[in-house]
Amino acid sequence: MAKDTLKKYAPIVMAALLCACAIFIAVRSELLPITTGSRTPIHVTTAAVSTIHKPVTIIRAGSVKNAVTIPVNAEFAGSISDVFVTEKQSVKAGQPLFKLQAIPGAAGDTAANPSQAAQSNYVKALEEYNRYQALYELGGISRVQLENAKSRLQAVQGGSVGSKNSASATTTAENRTVTIESPIDGTVIGLTRAPGKMIQAGEQVMALGNGQAIEAVVRLEQSDLYGIQLSAPAAIEVASQTITGQVAAIYPAVEANQVSAFWVHIKFTSKAADTLKPGMSANIRISTGDSVTVPVIPTAAILQDNQGQTFIYIADNGKAVRQQVDIGETKGEFTEITSNVPAEVRVIKSNLDKIKQSYAIIDAS
């Protein structure tokens, strides 16, 4: 008989135990508020949801690489008549680097066939200008670089191109003097030629780099590139450290004869650790110079429960009401709220360790 009674009431007992456990968990999680009429209201201070201007930052995965150098070569055979820069000097795009004087009859000198040489120079300059124009429209180069390419095109577009007078063309080619300008912002490295030295067409005179052995590189899509400018500040998170930097150069990534993306090269502006090596992964943040308005609340008002959920307490008609929130970046005393929190609410920011869901409160703000 006792066994039959136990079997009869066992489901009821189990249901009662499960209900009690559920109520206990709900109370502990503040899903089921327990209040008493005798609880003394807790004095708290509150703050309104405010806004700040948040800088727009592009965050992408990149890496540390050996610094890229850009060779500066002689356009034709001749003599270097002037050098305007020195080793390790910083230069700006468009700044004169050296002056090249054509020498009649020099080996490799295009003056031997002036008409053909002039036409070849014009075609090269035109191709260069068209390429720079396309890159400028995509945001890949600065306006200065485009203007430099235009100037070079105009320089070779003069009397020698298409001239019917070969003697005139020869004179133009043989007496040609060209000032070579820097194509990028950079640092002069590997300066090997001095004034008066002879040089062949295509020989390297110097190279331009960022003056560092390594740099950070990140790949960006065209949509990202519109917000990036040369010299834009950046932060490189690598090897448990954050290094400041700035955008030094932007080059197109050409795949299947098309510009598929862009490589952004960042030089370090603060000292990097000697442990940094090419190939290391890095998290790179580049400032666009723009900003957006975002809602923020005091960081001190934000709590986290045992399940890792972030929440706040809102003052609502003399009671504390818990509301789950999603958060963004923290800037000093304020943290961005990325979930929907009404602008008119008051967020409790003090005595948070003494209140729970539906506790009576007095706003002393």
Q: What band does 287 get if pLDDT is binned at 50, 70 and 90?
A: very high
In a shared domain, residues 265 and 172? no
d(CA 104, CA 65): 43
**Residue 352 pLDDT level (bands cut at 50, 70, 90):** very high
In a domain, 269, yes or no: yes
Q: Is residue 142 part of a domain?
A: yes
pLDDT tens for 27-42 read 555 555 554 445 799 9
Task: Give the DSSP per-residue string, 135-172.
Answer: HHHHT-S-HHHHHHHHHHHHHHSSTTTT-S-HHHHHHH
Q: Mean pLDDT for the chain? A: 79
Kindly tell me the sign of the dihedral angle through the C-alpha atoms of 176, 179, 182, 188.
positive
Please state, for a pLDDT cut of 70, what percent of the chain lies above it: 71
222 in the same domain as 181: no
- The reply to whether 262 falls in a domain is yes
Report whether pLDDT(58) > 60: yes
What is the crossing angle of helices 166-174 and 114-138, to 10°? 60
Q: Are 83 and 190 members of one domain?
A: yes
Any idea what the CATH number is for the domain that residue 82 is in?
A: 2.40.50.100
Last residue of a domain, one of 246, 269, 289: 289
Is 348 part of a structural domain of the chain?
Answer: no
Q: Which domain holds residue 103?
A: 71-209
Q: Is residue 80 domain-shared with residue 133, that is, in the same domain?
A: yes
Number of domains forming the structure of the chain: 3
In which element (H, E) is residue 16 found?
helix 2-28
pLDDT at 49: 95
User: CA end-to-end span of the chain, whole Å?
Assistant: 67
Last residue of a domain, one of 261, 289, 317: 289
Instruction: Please count the CA atoms within 13 angstroms of the CA of 319 that sit on its side-chain side.
Output: 12
Would you state the pLDDT for residue 169? 34
- Do residues 75 and 205 both lie within one domain? yes
Summarize pLDDT for 162-213 with one digit per residue, the tens.
Answer: 333 333 333 344 567 888 888 777 788 888 888 888 888 888 888 888 778 8
Look up residue 155 and give its two tokens.
């320089």
**Domain match, 190 and 217 both:** no
- Average the pLDDT over each of 7-21, 24-38, 46-60, 201-215 and give the range with the smallest value: 24-38
Residue 254 has a pLDDT of 67
In a domain? residue 321: no
Residues in Cβ contact with 282 at an 8 Å cutoff, skipping those fewer than 6 apart:
61, 62, 63, 64, 216, 218, 236, 237, 238
Average pLDDT score over residue span 59-63: 95
4 vs 171: CA distance, rounded Å: 122
Residue 265 lies in a domain: yes
Task: Name the token pair of 132.
Answer: 């720079």
Last residue of a domain, one of 166, 193, 209: 209
pLDDT, mean of residues 210-221: 88
For 87-119, what is each residue's pLDDT tens digit?
988 888 789 999 988 876 544 444 445 555 566
Average pLDDT over residues 242-257: 81
| pLDDT at residue 296 in the model | 96
Chain centroid to CA 101: 41
pLDDT at 297: 96
Which has the closest alpha carbon to 314: 350, 282, 347, 291? Answer: 347
Domain for residue 341, yes or no? Answer: no
Q: Which two tokens stand for residue 13?
A: 């007992």
Dist CA 74 CA 1 (whole Å): 110
- In degrees rounded to 5, what are phi and psi of residue 133? -60, -45
- Note the pLDDT of residue 259: 67
Which amino acid would we find at residue 116?
Q
**Span 290-322, pLDDT tens digits:** 899 999 999 999 999 999 999 999 999 999 999
- Dihedral sign (CA 334, 339, 345, 349): negative
pLDDT for 107: 44
Residues 117 and 173 in one domain: yes
